[in-house]
Structure 1
Amino acid sequence: MAQQWMMEFLIGLGKMFSHPIFYFAFFACIFMGYLRVKRERKDFNIRAQNGYFELRNLLPAGLVIGGILSILTVALGITVPFAAIILAEALTFLILLTLKFRLLSPVYTLGLTFFIVFFTYNQHIEVPIFSSAFKNLEPIYPSIPFLMGLLLVVEGLLISRNAYKGTSPKMITSKRGLPAGVHVSRRLWMVPFFVFLPTGELSSPFEWWPVLQGPGSTQFTPIVIPFLIGFSQQVQGLLPKVSIKMNGNRVITLGVIVTLVAMGGYWYPLLSIAAVALGLLGRESITFYQRLFEERLPFYFSYRDRGVMILGIIPNSPAEKMGLEIGEIVTKVNGVPVNNKKQFYEALMKNRAHCKLEVLDSNDQIRFVQRALFEGEHHELGILFVQQQKRGKQEAV
C-alpha cells in the first residue's frame, strides 16, 4: 500500500508539468520584466534591476512555502473537485492576460471559483466538454474556503517577506505639477502544493482521514497544483519596506480569520459561504485602505531643500557597496554641501580617487560613508536621485 501511495504522489507531482499555467507564468514574468526595464530606462536612462528579476522571484520562495503547505493539505486530506481546478486555472489565465497581478490573490481566483461551482452545482447546469468534471462537486466546502484562507496567509507572508525587495523606482508628476518619485512592487509567485481529487485508486489509510472532504468520497488521487499568487502596489508616502510589510501583515491577519471561519464550515456549511465573502470583501478593503492612506501622505521621495534624496540604488554598484539605502538624503560630498545632481557631480569630481558622503538616514541621523573610487566609478556610483528638473527624465549618478 505504501508503494502505491508513493507512486501516486510521484505521478501527481509530474502532473504539475502538464498545467499550461506552469509555463505561462514564466512568459508572464519575462514580459513583466521587459515592461519594467523599458519604463526605468525611460525615467532614468538606466534600469534598476535586470530584466530577469521577476523571473528569479517566481519559484524560490513559493517552493519552500508550497512544501510546508503540502504537508498540511496531505495531513488533512483536502479534497477539491476537478472542476474547481479547471475554473481556477481559467480565471488565473484570464487575469494574467490583463496584467492586473493584484487580482491573482487567492480570494479572487479561489473565491470566484467557489461561487461559480456552488451556483453550477445547485442549478444542475450542464457544462459542455467538461461535464464529467462537474459531476462530483460536493467537496467544494469546507475544503475550498479553508484552502483559500491558508493561501491568503501564504500571500501575506510572501508580501511581507519578499515583495519589498528590489522595488522599482518610478518618476511621476504630483498634483502640484512637481516631479516626485514612487516605488512599484509587482510580483508573481508560484506556490506548488498537493491536493486530492475525489476519484482514483487510493483509499483512506485511516478512519479519520481525510478530514476535509465532501460526502461520499472514498477514492482519491493526489495532484500538485502550480498555484499563482500575484501582487502589485505603488508606494509613495512611506518607505517601500514599511508600507509593503504593513500591507502583508494585514493580509496575514485576514487569512487567519478567514481560515478560522472556514473551519466552522465543517459543521455549518453556511460558514463556508461567509468565509469566502469575508475574504473577498476584506482583501478589497485592504487594497482600498492602503491606497487611501498613502494618498493622504506627502510624497516621501520628493525634492528637498537640503541635500538630494536617494530614490534608487543600482544592484552591485559602488553605492550599494557603500551601504547607501533608498530614502536617505546625501547632504555633503567630499565636505561640500549639495542640493542637486550637478552639485553632487562637481563635488565628486574634486577627488577622483576617494568619495566621502554625509548622509541623513530615514531616522534623521547623520552618518558618514566613504570608499575608494576606481577608474570610471565616479561616473557610475549607481544612485538614482529625486531632483527638480524642467525635463521629466532623471539620470543615474
Structure 2
Amino acid sequence: MEAVWALLSQLGAAALHLLAQPFYYIAVLFIAWQYTRQIRLERQMFAVKLHLWPGLLLRAVVAGLVVGLAVSVVSAFIGTSLTQETVLWLWAAAAVLMVFRIRYLCFAYGAGVLALLQWVVGWTPLAESGGVFGKLAVSLASIDMPGLLLLVALLHLAEALLVRTQGDRLSTPLFLEGKRGKLIGGYALQGFWPVPLLLIVPAAGGGGASAALPWSSLLSADWTQGWTIIALPMVIGFSEMTKSMLPRDKARHASKGLLYFSIGLTAAALLAWWQPMLLPVAALCSLLLHEAMIWRSRAVEAARSPLFVNDSRGLRILGIVPGTPAEAMGLGTGETIAKVNGVRVRTKEDLHAALASNPAMCKLEVLNLSGEIKFAQRARYAGEHHQLGVILAPDDQANYYAAEGPASLLDLLRSSRTTSRWTDAAGETAADERA
C-alpha cells in the first residue's frame, strides 16, 4: 500500500509539473494554428468548410493523452534515465532546427542532432573548462541518448498507428500545379498530436520515492538512489502530399514508412546502449532513416500518374462536402461522374446544365474506382442547396492553386498558401470547381 501511495504521489507531482511547463501549451497552440490555417485554405479555395478546427484539436488532444499514457507505461519497463534537462535540450534543438526547415520540428531530428553533438563534445575538454559552455557540455553529456532515441522510436510507432487510423480524416483537397503547368487535384494529409509523458526515471541525489522498482527494466539504469517521475511534453505529427493516391491509401503508405523507421531506430538505439561507441551510428540512423522515409514517399509519388484529373469518361470527384446530396447518395472521392439525368458530362458547365434540366430529381451514372458503373439518385427538395456537393478535379479555368509549402519558419510566417494563375483573376477563387 505504501508503494502504491508513493507512486500516486509521484504521478500527481509530475502531472502538476507538466501543467506548469509552457511546452505542452505551446504544442497545443501550434496545432490549433496549423488547423486554422488548413481551414482558411479550404475556404479560400472552395468556399466551404470541410473540417472544424475545434473538433480536430479536441481529437488531437484526446489521442495525444491516450498515446502519452501508453508510451509512459511501456517506458516504465524500459528504464531510461532522462531528466528535466532533456526536455529543455530537445525543445531547444527542435526550435533551432525548425527555423531552417519546418519538418525538422520532428524530434527524430532533434534527438539525432543532440546525440551527434554529445559525441563530438565528448572528444573535447569543454566539460572541464568551466563557465557557461562548460556547464552546457556537462548537461549535454548527462543525457541518456540511447534512452532518448528509443523513446523517439516508440513515439513514431504510436504515430504510425495514429496515421493509420486517423490520417485520411485529416486530409485536405487541393489544386496543385502538375507537370508543364497543368493543374491537377491532390491531397495534403497533415496531423499533429500533443503527447504528455510521465516517465519513471532514476532519482538523483537520493530523492526518489523508493530504493528499487517492483519490476525489472530492459536497460540497466542505476536505481540505487531511488526513482522518481518526470513530465516530458512531446509533440508528434506528420505531413504528406499526394497526387496519385486516395487519402486512405496515402495514410496506409505513410503509416508503413513510420513503422519501418520505428523498428530501425529501435534497433540502432539498443545497439548504442549495448556499445556506446555506436552512438553516432544511432544518431545518423535517426536522421538518415527519417530522410529516407520522406524520399521513399516522394519517389512513389513521382513514379505514379496523377489520379485526380478529368478525362474523356467524365468529371473526377476530388472531394465530397459533408452534409450535401453527394454524401447522401454515397458518392466517393476518386470516382468519376459520367452522366447526370441521362446527359453525358465532360465539363462543369455540362454538369450544371444537366442538374438544372430536372429540378425534382438527380440521377447519376458514376464510374467507381474499379471503372465499374454504379447508379445513384435522389430527389431534390424545395429550399435545398442547389449544388450537388462535390469538389471536382480542376480544369483549365481554375484560377487558384496551392503554392508549394513553406520550407522554413520564416517562410511560414510570411507565405501565402495559394497562388493566382492569372493576375487579372485576382478577385476570383477556385470555388467554381465545386458543383
TM-score normalised according to structure 1 size: 0.89
**Which residue of structure 2 lines up, in the alignment, with residue 377 of structure 1?**
384
* Structure 1 residue ranges, 4+ long, deviating more than 6 angstroms after superposition: 96-99
2:182 to 178, 183, 186: 178
What is the alpha-carbon distance in structure 2 between the residues aligned to residue 215 and residue 135 of structure 1?
A: 18
Alignment of 1:77 onto 2:79? yes
What is the alpha-carbon distance in structure 1 between the residues aligned to residue 375 and residue 298 of structure 2?
A: 35
**Structure 1 residue matching 2:255: 3-state secondary structure:** helix
| 1:217-254 deviation per Cα after TM superposition (whole angstroms, max 9, x unaligned) | 62332123221012111101222221231121022022
1:39 to 28, 36, 41: 41
Q: Alpha carbons of 1:158 and 1:111: their partners in 2 closer, same or farther (altered >3 Å)?
A: farther
Q: Alpha carbons of 1:376 and 1:270: their partners in 2 closer, same or farther (altered >3 Å)?
A: farther
**Which residue of structure 2 lines up, in the alignment, with residue 116 of structure 1?**
117
Alignment of 1:20 onto 2:22? yes
Q: Residue 178 of structure 1: CA displacement? A: 2.0
| Percent identity of equivalent pairs | 27
After TM superposition, the structure 1 = structure 2 runs for residues 119-198 of structure 1, keeping only pairs within 5 Å, are 119-120=120-121, 123=124, 124-125=126-127, 128=132, 131=135, 134-135=138-139, 137-138=141-142, 140-198=144-202
2:69 to 57, 67, 70: 67
Coordinate RMSD, CA, aligned: 2.8
Q: Residue 197 of structure 1: CA displacement? A: 4.6
Q: Residue 109 of structure 1: CA displacement? A: 2.7
1:56 to 58, 76, 82: 58
Query: Partner letter of residue 277 of structure 1?
Result: L
What is the alpha-carbon distance in structure 2 between the residues aligned to residue 360 and residue 182 of structure 1?
A: 19
What is the alpha-carbon distance in structure 1 between the residues aligned to residue 257 and residue 366 of structure 2?
A: 33
**Structure 1 residue matching 2:179: 3-state secondary structure:** coil
**Which residue of structure 2 lines up, in the alignment, with residue 255 of structure 1?**
262
| 1:252-300 deviation per Cα after TM superposition (whole angstroms, max 9, x unaligned) | 0221122133223333223444233212111101101211321232221
**Which residue of structure 1 lines up, in the alignment, with residue 397 of structure 2?**
390
2:237 to 230, 240, 246: 230
Range that drifts further, 54-63 or 252-261 = 54-63
Range that drifts further, 361-370 or 135-144 = 135-144
What is the alpha-carbon distance in structure 1 between the residues aligned to residue 259 and residue 53 of structure 2?
A: 30
1:351 to 358, 361, 368: 358
Q: Residue 328 of structure 1: CA displacement? A: 0.9
What is the alpha-carbon distance in structure 2 between the residues aligned to residue 145 and residue 386 of structure 1?
A: 43
Q: Alpha carbons of 1:135 and 1:51: their partners in 2 closer, same or farther (altered >3 Å)?
A: closer
**Structure 2 residue matching 1:301: 3-state secondary structure:** coil
What is the alpha-carbon distance in structure 1 between the residues aligned to residue 392 and residue 240 of structure 2?
A: 21
After TM superposition, the structure 1 = structure 2 runs for residues 84-123 of structure 1, keeping only pairs within 5 Å, are 84-94=86-96, 100=102, 102-120=103-121, 123=124
Query: Partner letter of residue 159 of structure 1?
Result: V
What is the alpha-carbon distance in structure 1 between the residues aligned to residue 374 and residue 284 of structure 2?
A: 50
| 1:347-366 deviation per Cα after TM superposition (whole angstroms, max 9, x unaligned) | 22233233222211112222
**Structure 2 residue matching 1:327: 3-state secondary structure:** coil
What is the alpha-carbon distance in structure 1 between the residues aligned to residue 152 and residue 146 of structure 2?
A: 10
What is the alpha-carbon distance in structure 2 between the residues aligned to residue 45 and residue 99 of structure 1?
A: 30
TM-score normalised according to structure 2 size: 0.82
Q: What are the ranges of 5 or more consecutive residues in structure 1 without an aligned counterpart? A: none
**Structure 2 residue matching 1:288: 3-state secondary structure:** helix
Q: Residue 332 of structure 1: CA displacement? A: 1.4
**Which residue of structure 2 lines up, in the alignment, with residue 268 of structure 1?**
275
Q: Residue 96 of structure 1: CA displacement? A: 6.2
Q: Residue 329 of structure 1: CA displacement? A: 0.8
What is the alpha-carbon distance in structure 1 between the residues aligned to residue 214 and residue 171 of structure 2?
A: 49
Range that drifts further, 342-351 or 109-118 = 109-118
- Answer yes or no: is the 8 Å Cα contact 1:153–1:255 preserved in 2: yes
Query: Partner letter of residue 154 of structure 2?
Result: L
Query: Partner letter of residue 28 of structure 2?
Result: F
Q: Residue 147 of structure 1: CA displacement? A: 1.4
Q: Alpha carbons of 1:215 and 1:118: their partners in 2 closer, same or farther (altered >3 Å)?
A: farther
1:289 to 265, 288, 296: 296
What is the alpha-carbon distance in structure 2 between the residues aligned to residue 127 and residue 179 of structure 1?
A: 58
Range that drifts further, 192-201 or 226-235 = 192-201
Query: Partner letter of residue 321 of structure 2?
Result: I
What is the alpha-carbon distance in structure 1 between the residues aligned to residue 133 and residue 142 of structure 2?
A: 20
What is the alpha-carbon distance in structure 1 between the residues aligned to residue 431 and residue 330 of structure 2?
A: 22
